[in-house]
Amino acid sequence: MINWKYFRLIIGTVFFLILPPSLVTEKIEKVQIYSKAVAEETKKYSDRLTQENLQTQAQELDRKAKQKLENGELKTALETLQQLLDIHTQQGVRDSGTEFYPLNISSTLYSMASIDRQLQQYQKALENYQQALEIRQQLGDTEQIAAILHNIGTVYSHLSQYPQALASFNKALKMRRQLRDTTAISRTLNKIGVIYDRQGKYPKAIEFYEEALEMAKKEKDNVNLTAILSNLGLVNSRLGRYKQAIDFYQKVIQNNPPNKAKFLTYIGAIYRHLEEFSKALKFYQQALEVYEENQDRLNIAITIDNIGVIYREQEKYSQALESHQQALVIWEELGDREGKSASVHNIGIVYRESGQYSESLEFLTHTLILDRQLENQNRERITLADIGKLLAKNDRPELAVIFYKQSVNITEKIRKDLQVLPVEEQRDYLDGTVTEIYRDLANLLLEQKRAIESHQILDLLKVQEVFEYMGGIKADDKIIGNSFEDI
């Protein structure tokens, strides 16, 4: 029996051998060309499948990231966007001849930077914004370049790097003016105003706020309008222009913003500062009603505490105690130790002002323990000074000086740490409680005829009227050799 398979193989081989060499070569070349074409088509098909697969993954990750953002899961959203960025990078490498993938990469970097900013990861935010900026600059996308520069300025502002912030904002402003985007121009003008405000350059800040305000009014940009009016209220309040500040806050309230209660609180605080306590109480109570409607327990506690302070200033001590105790209950239910410390401290002050010194010392000592547990040095220095004030009232001046000096020591440590900040911000820290504490201690030392120490305390403040505090009192020879470094 003939093996036909084997027979065909022999015949084919013989036929191939008897062919002319040129014809053999031609057939081989055709086979190679065909094989190459098949390989190229196979690769194209494979690449297309890969791109389609990557695109499907990208769409799914984009959907997932948006969902996480809506749910407030910022860290998970950031991780998802990083995966999306990796895929867009792969897509860009495989198909570098289109602008589509660089746009996707830039948009993803921008979203990541925005989340970094929300998470206060400012250096990382800067890195991602800068990478997104480079891509947009290569693509010549002026609108997006301006938007990224605006956000870079915001990050620098958070980092208190004001010259860099101004440089970015000014570049963004120039581009937005060229684009005639009034809404965007107004928002950048407001940001520049904030920088000048923080630098203590209040007239310059007002100039930018007012230009921003006019544009926001034209565009009926209520969100930006609220921010600008709020900033004008704050800067006028800092300048002691309280009537103007209240007017601006009232205009904000007229727009019925979601955070209306905050501005009612601001007005209450101004009236408290002006010692118009009945008006302050009215606005605090209005704010409280809003917070209670919204079941905002955190701000309910804060506002009740503020109301307690007003009652204390009016010497309505029983009502003050009741308010602070109500706030304390809420803080404890919320597990908020900072809030608890504030209410315990306020209760201690009410007892001190009402002459109940032993109760006051108990609550202020408790506050001091909480402050130290929380490692809140600013609150600790205030509490130490308040204990000093209590002891002075209770005719224990030597002990009072010890607590005041501990307060000053902590304050000086904080001031030393603040030396990295602009001079204006360092000066702001001296306002209010710092100056008051130093002068109270200086007066207490003078009453004990410890004039050299008193002079040293005032010298720390760099006050020029130091000799007014001397009151002609001569130093006690026994303490001339004492060094202020020991306090």
- End-to-end Cα separation, the chain, in angstroms: 119
Domain limits at 263?
A: 258-375
Does 299 reside within a domain? yes
Q: Are 401 and 444 in contact (CB under 8 A)?
A: yes
Q: Is 426 among the domain residues?
A: yes
The per-residue pLDDT string of the chain (487 residues; one tens digit each, 9 = 90 and over) reads: 555 555 555 555 555 555 566 555 665 565 566 556 555 655 554 445 455 676 777 788 788 878 877 888 888 888 888 888 888 777 655 454 455 578 888 888 999 999 999 998 999 999 999 999 999 999 999 999 999 999 999 999 988 889 999 999 999 999 999 999 999 999 999 999 999 998 888 899 999 999 999 999 988 888 899 999 999 999 998 888 999 999 999 999 998 888 899 999 999 999 999 999 999 999 999 999 999 999 999 999 999 999 999 999 999 999 999 999 999 999 999 999 999 999 999 999 999 999 999 999 999 999 999 999 988 888 899 999 999 999 999 999 999 999 999 998 988 887 777 665 555 555 554 555 578 888 888 889 888 888 888 888 888 776 433 333 344 333 333 322 332 333 3
Q: Is 466 exposed, middle or buried (0-12, 13-18, 19+ CB in 10 A)?
A: middle
Q: What is the CATH number of the domain that holds 265?
A: 1.25.40.10
Q: Please indicate, yes or no, if residue 239 is contained in any of the structural domains.
A: no
Q: Is the dihedral of CA 67, 73, 78, 83 positive or negative?
A: negative
Residues 361 and 418 in one domain: no
Q: Quick one: DSSP state of residue 474?
A: P
Count the neighbouring beta carbons within 10 Å of the beta carbon of residue 97: 6
User: How many domains does the chain contain in total?
Assistant: 2
Could you tell me if residue 344 is inside a domain? yes
Residue 288 and residue 335 in one domain: yes
Task: Specify if 172 maps to a domain.
Answer: no
**407 with 332, same domain?**
no
Asked if residue 54 belongs to a domain, the reply is no
Single out the residue in 325, 360, 375 at which a domain terminates. Answer: 375
The encoded tokens of residue 56 equal 């499907």
- Phi, psi dihedrals of residue 476, rounded to the nearest 5°: -75, 120
Domain identity same for 273 and 370:
yes
Q: Has residue 92 been placed in a domain?
A: no
User: Per the domain annotation, does 281 fall within a domain?
Assistant: yes
Q: Are residues 358 and 419 in the same domain?
A: no
Per-residue pLDDT at 398: 92
Q: Are 188 and 150 a contacting pair, CB within 8 Å?
A: yes
Q: Which residue, among 186, 114, 179, has the nearest Cα to 152 in the 3D structure?
A: 114
SS (H, E, C) 149-199: HHHHHHHHHHCCCHHHHHHHHHHHHHHHHHHCCHHHHHHHHHHHHHHHHHC
Are residues 351 and 420 located together in one domain of the fold?
A: no
Claim to verify: residue 369 and residue 473 sit in the same structural domain: no
Domain end: 336, 356, 375, which one? 375
What DSSP element (H or E) covers 300?
helix 297-313
Of 379, 341, 382, 381, nearest in space to 363 by CA: 341
Give SS3 for 13. helix
414 contacts: CB under 8 Å, gap ≥ 6: 377, 378, 381, 429
Q: Are 403 and 384 in contact (CB under 8 A)?
A: yes
